[in-house]
Amino acid sequence: MEGFLAHLSEGTAWMAWTWQTGLFFIALALTLTLMTWLAAARPEAPRVGVLHFPTTRGDRLFLALLGAAFIHLAWIALVGGELGWASGLSLIWALAVFRLV
């Protein structure tokens, strides 16, 4: 086991994992798993919102994540400094997307 772990960490050294990015991807994977489970357990019909075309939960998740990425980038470009506010804004954006779109 020890040898395997050493081998694994040596073999993936080029991927330059950090705990921060690791956490990010674990959260992303958990979200996707949760959404997949939700789609199976509680099937839904696409719904028409403010964008005037039908969207599913998956579409809304994608929009929320993409929007969050751009909100963070815009925050870095225009405001700078502490990203906590950008994350808060992203949360509001995500809530808005899931309620309205």
Nearer to other proteins, 32 or 92 (CB): 32
> Based on CB atoms, which residue is closest to other proteins, 1 or 77?
77
Residues that bind other proteins (CB under 8 A): 13-18, 20-21, 24-25, 40, 53-54, 62, 66, 69-70, 73, 76-77, 80, 83
CB of 92 to other proteins, least distance (A): 20
The residue among 4 and 53 lying less far from other proteins, judged by its C-beta, is: 53
Which is closer to other proteins, CB of 13 or CB of 45?
Answer: 13
Place of tokens 């809304």: 60
Reduced to 3 states (helix: H, G, I; strand: E, B; else coil), residue 54 is strand
**Nearest approach, Cβ of residue 6 and other proteins (Å):** 14
The tally of CA atoms less than 13 A away on the side-chain side of residue 64 is: 24
Long-range CB pairs of 84-93 (<8 Å, 24+ gap) are 90/64, 93/64, 93/67, 93/68
Q: Which one-letter DSSP state was computed for residue 15? A: G
